[in-house]
């Protein structure tokens, strides 16, 4: 069962926000907490070594919160925005932790031997993508939002389209463009650092 | 960085489904309607598409969460903390206090070290995206050498490693100073004060070079000036870091889409530009020091950083490799009046005086350091510093081609200030100190040899040492201490010398000095070294390239190194035999035929013979003067005929020789001797004897006197040096012919 207190707070905050407006900074920690608790509960039921896809988590959180407070959940955009952002942070922490484990305290045992971006390991990629996303957000918030929803929130094009009230085709086009932009930006950034 | 306009995104989406590249190209051409920038941006994004799809889909499939993520994920932190290392954070033993600055490759923090000693340090955290493992490996390889550097003007690199998020970091001695150029301008230092600072920087670099460490990224922001008891102290920072992060400074990948380049091309040596930093040695640092000196004097770099970057990668490479920079004084005259006034005010001078102060010595010093070919630059940072010191002392600088007037001018200037004698004493002391320092370093060097891993650095270091010794010998030479210079030069292992103008100059002068003192063996040895270090340009087919052979070849014969001589003459023919210069051809023929030659060698001389014979037909007095030069050329052809066994042809040629007025007495003597041999071979014994005696008289007369370099009138030493060899051969022939065998007629 979701934490009733959190659920209450989330509802209150979602209602307080304008649809399509900027995500509330107060909302974020609550969704973050909710997602983590949800994941913990799921993990406890599953066998050890089991993994969960973020898409599944976000959707489950959404379904739980929605079913419990049905009239208040009209603003999907806010929920998905907050959930994706929270998910982003969880995943970033996770990538950092895994890299740290792999590399040890010092870098002598790092296994990244390749300089080519396309050859990097997934955990490092996530960090690289996140850094590029920060840069994208500085110039094109709309596009950055789509990336967060798609990549970290794991939403489908249809869900993002519904959330942002644009056509599915637009999301497809923008997401494709954003991916190309991000990879290009990662390359440029990485190369300029060498 | 712009994320692309709506139009760009639309075109991207529209072009993407067009599979055929030609069709896609046509579509973009039409759609962009002459907006080339838009078109290239869209094309670039399209090129990224296939890879980005794969990149992201691989990534998304790895985004699964497991129990560790849930149990270990921290509470939500401030966004900025999540993004990277920040003040307050701890890296290893270092607590970051605040950010000091941000550069192209990372962020520098003020940090506190808690153990083993509590002190403040600077921590440089390299950007994410570098290959941490190899950075650390390279840093570790260099650590030993870095640890050996101990110099008041070098900021130490204390430690290095990786942060928890996997970024490489370096811990540096904290230097709270300002960029050297800023310091000089703010303090309005005069040119001499700037030069004094610069000399200190050179000494720091020299120290590092002796430890086998090359900086690779010398620029004003890496030289900070602090004040200590009111006196400015420059500190060179970031030693070893450029190598560790393997500044692939000129790699294409360093160009970002909007033409930004990382690194400082204005300070980059041509070889760094050309070879992606692969073959970079200490002389690359000398170049960067030259740029620094240029900027300290004029306020500008030889090539404008902005222009370099905007010109694009290839053009930048070309500029650094080929374009001669303006002399510092010329650069100043090309500035606008306002800019010039600012530069002058910063140096406490009137604009015209500023320009005048750079003209001459300082121009030459800077340009020598900035030579495109590194063997033409100063050999060592010390040599550069010494030349700047000479300028400050009003002594002749090495960078300037010496002329009598210039030397006199310097002597007068010098005497205004200080008694010349005192100065010479001071200089002798300085040289003495330098020599004892060199012994000290020899010992250190022996210790370092134990480290196998540094074999490469070692060789580099020895070479630097050899270059330094050459410079010392050069200084001794310029003060007339010939014997000392000669002993010093002899001590240098030849294999450590690389071709350079400075080395060839020193060995040429020492060779001549030994020759004039009749130390044949030593003279020959100096010339053998000279031939090795003088292979500056294999394509040089002028008579300058062959000139040194004129003395080297006879000296080798004279010293009895006959097999060396034979090897040398064949090597010389192979390397230079393609010349089209009549002078070079003549010199090659003469120097190759000091001793009898086999058919193969004679065959190799045929093209040269054609070149010389062609010149003799010319009516151009510059090519065929009908006098001194013509006589030598006819002599060379006669010697060739003689060696071929065409004795009558030789006699004809040699008779022709005497027709030319004002020929060198050395040529006359040589003609007598070869003619004597040719005549004897065809049985004209009486005439042969007469020629021999005339030749002998001339040779003996010449070599009984004190040997001198000579001139056209008395005969130059390089002409005379051949004659004893020919006399010896002519005598031997006369003696064997005095008891003719039964076969002769």
DSSP string, chain A: ---HHHHHHHHHHHHHSPTTSPPPTTHHHHHHHHHHHHHHHHHHHSPTT--B-HHHHHHHHHHHHHHHSGGGTT-HHHHHHHHHHHHHHHHHHHHHHHHHHHH-SSGGG-------GGGS-HHHHHHHHHHHHHHHHHH-HHHHHHHIIIIIS---HHHHHHHHTS-HHHHHHHHHHHHHHHHHHHHHHHHHH-
In chain B, the residue whose alpha carbon lies closest to the alpha carbon of A131 is B83
pLDDT of residue B401: 61
pLDDT of residue A1: 42
**pLDDT-based confidence at residue B643 (cuts at 50, 70, 90):** very high
CB within 8 Å: A177 and B63: no
CB within 8 Å: B166 and A181: no
Q: Annotated catalytic residue: which of B217, B363, B486, B543?
A: B217
Which residues in chain B have their CB less than 8 angstroms from residue A140's CB?
A: 3
Of B58, B131, B256, the CB nearest to A115: B131
In 3D space, the residue among B215, B139, B211 whose CA is nearest the CA of residue B457 turns out to be B211
Which residues in chain B have their CB less than 8 angstroms from residue A143's CB?
A: 3
Choose the most confident range, by mean pLDDT, from B171-180, B415-424, B665-674.
B665-674
CB within 8 Å: B60 and A154: yes
Of A134, A154, A182, the CB nearest to B83: A134
CB within 8 Å: B164 and A57: no
**A91 to chain B, closest Cα gap in Å:** 7
pLDDT digits (tens, 9 = 90+) for B182-201: 899 888 888 899 999 999 99
**pLDDT-based confidence at residue B165 (cuts at 50, 70, 90):** low
CB within 8 Å: A190 and B130: yes
**Cα–Cα distances in Å, from B402 out to A148, B388, B398, B478, B507?**
71, 16, 8, 10, 17
**B52 to chain A, closest Cα gap in Å:** 5
Q: How many CB pairs under 8 A join A and B?
A: 208
**What phi and psi, each to the nearest 5 degrees, are found at residue B168?**
-70, 145
Which residues in chain B have their CB less than 8 angstroms from residue A110's CB?
A: 132-133, 136, 162, 166
CB within 8 Å: B128 and A128: yes
CB within 8 Å: A49 and B105: no
Name B586's Cβ contacts closer than 8 Å, sequence gap at least 6: B543, B608, B612, B632, B633, B636
pLDDT of residue B692: 93
pLDDT exceeds 70 at position B370 = yes
**How far apart (Å, rounded) are the C-alpha atoms in residues B40 and B32?**
10
Of A94, A125, A152, the CB nearest to B69: A94
Higher pLDDT, B3 or B464: B464
Q: How many CA atoms lie within 13 A of B456 on its CB side?
A: 8
**How far apart (Å, rounded) are the C-alpha atoms in residues B345 and B339?**
10
Give me the mean pLDDT over the B68-88 stretch: 45
* β-strands B231-236, B157-162 pairing: unpaired
pLDDT of residue B556: 86
pLDDT exceeds 50 at position B392 = yes
Of B1, B13, B71, the CB nearest to A177: B13
3-state secondary structure of B500: coil
Choose the most confident range, by mean pLDDT, from B194-203, B524-533, B580-589, B622-631.
B194-203
Q: Are the C-beta atoms of A177 and B41 separated by less than 8 Å?
A: no
Q: Cβ of A141 under 8 Å from any chain B Cβ?
A: no
Give me the mean pLDDT over the B160-180 stretch: 79
pLDDT digits (tens, 9 = 90+) for B594-613: 999 999 999 999 999 999 99
Radius of gyration of chain A (CA): 18
Tokens of B259: 């033409």
**How far apart (Å, rounded) are the C-alpha atoms in residues B575 and A23?**
77
pLDDT exceeds 70 at position B79 = no
Q: Are the C-beta atoms of B131 and B441 separated by less than 8 Å?
A: no
**What phi and psi, each to the nearest 5 degrees, are found at residue A37?**
-65, -40
Which residues in chain B have their CB less than 8 angstroms from residue A177's CB?
A: 4, 9, 12-13, 45
Q: Chain A, 148-187: which have a CB under 8 Å from a chain B CB?
A: 151-152, 154, 173-174, 176-177, 179-187
Q: Are the C-beta atoms of B434 and B380 separated by less than 8 Å?
A: no
**How far apart (Å, rounded) are the C-alpha atoms in residues B52 and A150?**
15
The gap between the terminal CA atoms of chain A, to the nearest Å, is 50
Tokens of B89: 């954070």
**How far apart (Å, rounded) are the C-alpha atoms in residues B313 and A65?**
56
Which residues in chain A have their CB less than 8 angstroms from residue B131's CB?
A: 112-115
**How far apart (Å, rounded) are the C-alpha atoms in residues B238 and B179?**
13
Which residues in chain A have their CB less than 8 angstroms from residue B136's CB?
A: 106-108, 110
**What phi and psi, each to the nearest 5 degrees, are found at residue B173?**
-55, 135
**B275 to chain A, closest Cα gap in Å:** 16
pLDDT digits (tens, 9 = 90+) for B250-294: 333 343 333 334 456 788 888 877 655 456 788 889 999 999 999
* β-strands B106-113, B231-236 pairing: unpaired
**How far apart (Å, rounded) are the C-alpha atoms in residues B673 and A69?**
122
In chain B, the residue whose alpha carbon lies closest to the alpha carbon of A151 is B60
Q: Are the C-beta atoms of A98 and B73 separated by less than 8 Å?
A: no
CB within 8 Å: A173 and B48: no
Which residues in chain A have their CB less than 8 angstroms from residue B246's CB?
A: 194
Radius of gyration of chain B (CA): 34
Q: Are the C-beta atoms of B274 and B199 separated by less than 8 Å?
A: no
**A165 to chain B, closest Cα gap in Å:** 18
CB within 8 Å: A193 and B4: no
Tokens of B285: 């640092």
Name B93's Cβ contacts closer than 8 Å, sequence gap at least 6: B113, B114, B115
Tokens of B737: 């012919």
User: Which H, E and C letters describe B328-354, residue by residue?
Assistant: HHHHHHCCCHHHHHHHHHHCCCCHHHH
**pLDDT-based confidence at residue A20 (cuts at 50, 70, 90):** very low
**A19 to chain B, closest Cα gap in Å:** 24
CB within 8 Å: B126 and A190: no
Which residues in chain B have their CB less than 8 angstroms from residue A125's CB?
A: 55, 58-59
Q: Are the C-beta atoms of B317 and B250 separated by less than 8 Å?
A: yes
Q: Are the C-beta atoms of A117 and A186 separated by less than 8 Å?
A: yes
pLDDT of residue B435: 60
CB within 8 Å: B55 and A191: no
DSSP string, B48-87: HHHHHHHHHHHHHTT--B-HHHHHHPPPP--HHHHHS--T
pLDDT digits (tens, 9 = 90+) for A25-48: 555 666 777 777 777 666 665 554
Q: Chain A, 42-81: which have a CB under 8 Å from a chain B CB?
A: 43, 48-54, 57
Lowest-confidence region among B4-8, B180-184, B312-316, B448-452:
B448-452
Which residues in chain B have their CB less than 8 angstroms from residue A45's CB?
A: none
**pLDDT-based confidence at residue B445 (cuts at 50, 70, 90):** low
Q: Cβ of A122 under 8 Å from any chain B Cβ?
A: yes
Exposure class string for B285-322: b at 16+ Cβ within 10 A, else e: bbbbbbbbbbbbbbbbbbbeeeebbebebeebbebbee
pLDDT digits (tens, 9 = 90+) for A65-81: 655 543 344 466 667 77
Q: Are the C-beta atoms of A184 and B257 separated by less than 8 Å?
A: yes
pLDDT digits (tens, 9 = 90+) for B484-498: 889 888 888 887 887
Q: Are the C-beta atoms of A157 and A147 separated by less than 8 Å?
A: no
**pLDDT-based confidence at residue A93 (cuts at 50, 70, 90):** confident
Neighbours of A139 (CB within 10 A): 12
Lowest-confidence region among B184-193, B636-645, B652-661, B731-740:
B731-740
pLDDT exceeds 60 at position B16 = yes
CB within 8 Å: B63 and A126: yes
pLDDT of residue B609: 93
**How far apart (Å, rounded) are the C-alpha atoms in residues A53 and A58?**
9
Of B2, B64, B164, the CB nearest to A52: B64
* Mean pLDDT across chain A: 68
**How far apart (Å, rounded) are the C-alpha atoms in residues B210 and B214?**
9
Overall pTM > 0.80: no
**B30 to chain A, closest Cα gap in Å:** 21
CB within 8 Å: A32 and B76: yes
Higher pLDDT, B64 or B685: B685
pLDDT exceeds 50 at position B396 = yes
pLDDT exceeds 70 at position A19 = no
pLDDT exceeds 60 at position B444 = no
**How far apart (Å, rounded) are the C-alpha atoms in residues B347 and B332?**
13
CB within 8 Å: B73 and A90: yes
**Cα–Cα distances in Å, from A139 out to A68, A145, B40, B256?**
38, 12, 20, 17
Q: Are the C-beta atoms of B431 and B475 separated by less than 8 Å?
A: yes
* Mean pLDDT across chain B: 78
Which residues in chain A have their CB less than 8 angstroms from residue B164's CB?
A: 96, 100, 105
**pLDDT-based confidence at residue B141 (cuts at 50, 70, 90):** low
CB within 8 Å: A180 and B12: yes
Residue B580 burial (C-beta neighbours within 10 Å; 0-12, 13-18, 19+) = middle
**What phi and psi, each to the nearest 5 degrees, are found at residue B90?**
-120, 135
Peptide bond into B555 cis (omega under 30): no
Q: Are the C-beta atoms of B106 and B211 separated by less than 8 Å?
A: no
Q: Are the C-beta atoms of B466 and B497 separated by less than 8 Å?
A: yes
Name B637's Cβ contacts closer than 8 Å, sequence gap at least 6: B589, B609, B612, B613, B616, B653
The gap between the terminal CA atoms of chain B, to the nearest Å, is 98
In 3D space, the residue among B307, B301, B297 whose CA is nearest the CA of residue B287 turns out to be B301
Name B326's Cβ contacts closer than 8 Å, sequence gap at least 6: B302, B334
CB within 8 Å: B106 and A111: no
**How far apart (Å, rounded) are the C-alpha atoms in residues B307 and B417?**
44
Tokens of B659: 């027709």
Of B45, B129, B130, the CB nearest to A180: B45
**How far apart (Å, rounded) are the C-alpha atoms in residues B506 and B470?**
7
pLDDT exceeds 70 at position B414 = no
B217 given a catalytic annotation: yes
**B172 to chain A, closest Cα gap in Å:** 18
pLDDT of residue B200: 94
β-strand partners of B173 = B121
């Amino acid at each position: 069962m979701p934490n009733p207190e959190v659920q209450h707070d989330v509802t209150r905050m979602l209602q307080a926000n304008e649809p399509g407006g900027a995500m509330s900074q107060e909302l974020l920690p609550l969704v973050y907490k909710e997602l983590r608790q949800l994941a913990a509960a799921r993990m406890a039921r599953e066998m050890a070594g089991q993994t969960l896809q973020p898409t599944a988590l976000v959707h489950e959180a959404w379904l739980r919160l929605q079913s419990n407070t049905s009239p208040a959940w009209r603003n999907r955009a806010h929920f998905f925005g907050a959930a994706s952002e929270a998910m982003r942070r969880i995943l970033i922490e996770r990538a950092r932790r895994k890299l740290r484990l792999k590399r040890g305290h010092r870098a002598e045992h790092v296994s990244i031997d390749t300089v080519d971006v396309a050859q990097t390991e997934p955990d490092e990629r996530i960090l690289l993508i996140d850094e590029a996303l920060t840069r994208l957000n500085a110039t094109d918030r709309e596009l950055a939002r789509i990336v967060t929803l798609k990549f970290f929130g794991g939403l489908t094009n249809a869900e993002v389209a519904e959330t942002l009230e644009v056509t599915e085709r637009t999301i497809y086009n923008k997401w494709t463009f954003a991916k190309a932009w991000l990879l290009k930006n990662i390359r440029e950034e990485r190369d300029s650092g060498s | 960085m712009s994320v692309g306009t709506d139009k760009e995104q639309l075109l991207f989406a529209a072009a993407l489904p067009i599979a055929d590249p030609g069709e896609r190209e046509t579509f973009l051409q039409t759609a962009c309607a002459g907006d080339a920038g838009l078109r290239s941006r869209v094309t670039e994004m399209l090129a990224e598409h296939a890879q980005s799809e794969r990149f992201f889909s691989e990534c998304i499939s790895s985004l699964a969460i497991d129990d560790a993520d849930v149990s270990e994920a921290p509470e939500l932190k401030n966004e900025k903390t999540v993004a990277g290392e920040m003040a307050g954070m701890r890296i290893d033993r270092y607590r970051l206090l605040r950010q000091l600055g941000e550069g192209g490759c990372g962020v520098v923090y003020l940090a506190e070290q808690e153990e083993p000693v509590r002190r403040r340090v600077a921590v440089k955290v390299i950007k994410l995206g570098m290959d941490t493992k190899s950075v650390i490996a390279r840093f570790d390889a260099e650590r030993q050498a870095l640890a050996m550097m101990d110099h008041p003007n070098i900021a130490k690199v204390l430690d290095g490693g990786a942060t928890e998020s996997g970024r490489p970091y370096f811990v540096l001695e904290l230097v709270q100073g300002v960029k050297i150029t800023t310091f000089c301008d703010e303090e309005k230092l005069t040119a001499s004060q700037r030069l004094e600072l610069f000399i200190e920087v050179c000494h720091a670099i020299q120290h590092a070079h002796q430890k086998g460490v090359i900086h690779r990224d010398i620029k004003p922001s890496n030289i900070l000036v602090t004040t200590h008891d009111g006196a400015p102290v420059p500190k060179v920072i970031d030693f070893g870091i450029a190598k560790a992060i393997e500044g692939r400074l000129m790699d294409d990948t360093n160009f970002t889409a909007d033409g930004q380049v990382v690194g400082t091309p204005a300070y980059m040596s041509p070889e760094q530009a050309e070879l992606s930093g692969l073959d970079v040695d200490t002389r690359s640092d000398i170049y960067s020091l030259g740029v620094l000196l240029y900027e300290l004097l004029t306020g500008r770099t030889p090539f404008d950083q902005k222009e370099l970057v905007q010109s694009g990668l290839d053009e930048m490479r070309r500029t650094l490799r080929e374009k001669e920079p303006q002399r510092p004084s010329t650069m100043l005259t090309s500035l606008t009046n306002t800019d010039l006034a600012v530069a002058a005010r910063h140096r406490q001078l009137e604009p015209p005086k500023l320009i005048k102060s750079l003209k001459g010595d300082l121009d030459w010093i800077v340009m020598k350091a900035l030579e495109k070919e590194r063997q033409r630059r100063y050999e060592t940072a010390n040599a550069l510093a010494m030349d700047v010191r000479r300028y400050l002392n009003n002594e002749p600088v090495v960078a300037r081609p010496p002329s009598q007037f210039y030397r006199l001018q310097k002597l007068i200037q010098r005497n205004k200030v200080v008694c010349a004698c005192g100065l010479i004493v001071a200089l002798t002391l300085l040289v003495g100190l330098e020599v004892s320092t060199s012994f000290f370093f020899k010992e250190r060097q022996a210790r370092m040899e134990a480290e196998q891993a540094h074999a490469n650095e070692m060789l580099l270091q020895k070479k630097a040492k050899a270059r330094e010794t050459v410079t010392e010998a050069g200084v001794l030479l310029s003060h007339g201490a010939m014997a000392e210079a000669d002993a010093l030069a002899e001590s240098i292992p030849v294999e450590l010398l690389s071709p350079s103008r400075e080395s060839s100059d020193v060995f040429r002068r020492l060779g001549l000095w030994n020759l004039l003192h009749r130390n044949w063996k030593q003279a020959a040895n100096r010339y053998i070294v000279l031939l090795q270090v003088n292979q500056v340009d294999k394509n040089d087919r002028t008579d300058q390239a062959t000139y040194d052979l004129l003395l080297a070849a006879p000296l080798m014969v004279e010293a009895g190194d006959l097999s060396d001589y034979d090897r040398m003459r064949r090597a010389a023919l192979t390397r230079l035999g393609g010349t089209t210069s009549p002078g070079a051809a003549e010199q090659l023929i003469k120097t190759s035929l000091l001793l009898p030659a086999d058919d193969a060698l004679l065959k190799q001389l045929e093209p040269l013979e054609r070149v010389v014979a062609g010149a003799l037909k010319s009516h151009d007095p510059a090519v065929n003067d009908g006098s001194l030069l013509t006589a030598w050329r006819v002599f060379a052809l006669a010697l060739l005929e003689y060696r071929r066994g065409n004795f009558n042809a030789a006699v004809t040629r040699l008779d022709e020789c005497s027709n030319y007025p004002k020929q060198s007495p050395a040529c006359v003597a040589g003609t007598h001797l070869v003619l004597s041999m040719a005549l004897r071979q065809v049985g004209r014994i009486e005439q042969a004897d007469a020629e021999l005696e005339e030749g002998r008289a001339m040779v003996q007369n010449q070599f009984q006197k004190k040997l001198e370099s000579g001139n056209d009138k008395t005969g130059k030493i390089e002409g005379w040096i051949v004659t004893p060899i020919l006399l010896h051969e002519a005598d031997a022939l006369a003696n064997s012919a005095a008891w003719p065998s039964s076969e002769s007629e």
